[in-house]
Structure 1
Amino acid sequence: MDSAGALAASIYTMSAGRLGATTAAVLGLIGAVVAGLALTRPTGRFGIEKGRWGAIVALSAGPVAMALGGLVTATSEGGLGTGNGLGGAIVALVVGLIATALGGLALTRSRRTAPAHGGPR
């Protein structure tokens, strides 16, 4: 068996790289969805705080997804298609970056629309 065959994982094997990449991608996707909701509905049923909390969640989930995706990228052996989670880790990096950018935009927008006098929310 050649070295590429030894590095390749089975289709049904859930390796540590695949699990880490999947977790990171799902976390980044959750952050991106929450940031999108915070941008589209900053003042909902619960007032302005909903938009701010959504931005904070996205700004927390995005960098964690990028860090975990970077860790899987740095430690994966082999290339794309070997089953070590490299493809999922790259997706997690991109989705985490999108979540961070949208979260920052939502936080900036929620600060602009926040009441300055501290009145009822």
Structure 2
Amino acid sequence: MSATAELLAAAEGGIIGDGRTGANLALGIGALGLAIGWLALARAGHRVSTGNARTIGISAIAAGLAGTILAVLHLATSSGGPGTGNGLVGAIAAIPLGLGAVYLGRRALTRSRHADRPAGRMTV
């Protein structure tokens, strides 16, 4: 491949086309949110002593929502079907990752709320 053809391919989106870039971004943010959610859940269970469980849980929820919204927007705007190279399958895979991050972040918030409550006092 000549240098001109490589520059032309890079200008058009390169190996990873414009369609796959949005899906990969949604996948990355969803996976990051899932990792943050696991960290928040571990912190809420007092197994890890880094950071505040509530702050980390809120961050996991925010990253999960961002990943899910990006994936749904990519699904709504992509043309063609699976296997066409526009990232449709990646966007479909990013939705459960983002929702899992939201679930783990919410669960960490609930655990941290129960851990902060005094042991001798019941509140309804």
Separation of aligned partners in 2, 1:106 and 1:91: 23
Question: 4+ residue stretches of structure 1 with deviation over 4 A?
Answer: none
Partner of 1:38: 40
Report how many aligned residue pairs link the two structures: 103
Partner of 2:93: 91
TM-score normalised according to structure 2 size? 0.75
For the pair 1:14 / 2:23, whether they are aligned, the reply is no
For the pair 1:80 / 2:78, whether they are aligned, the reply is no
Measure how far apart 1:115 and its partner are: 5.3
Structure 2: unaligned runs, 5 residues or longer: 1-13, 119-124
Structure 1: unaligned runs, 5 residues or longer: 1-11, 117-121
Question: RMSD of the alignment, in Å?
Answer: 1.6
Measure how far apart 1:15 and its partner are: 1.8
Contact 2:43 2:49 in 1 (8 A): no
Separation of aligned partners in 2, 1:103 and 1:94: 14
Per-residue displacement from partner, 1:35-69 (whole Å, max 9, x unpaired)?
Answer: 112112323334xx521122011110011101100
Separation of aligned partners in 2, 1:102 and 1:58: 7
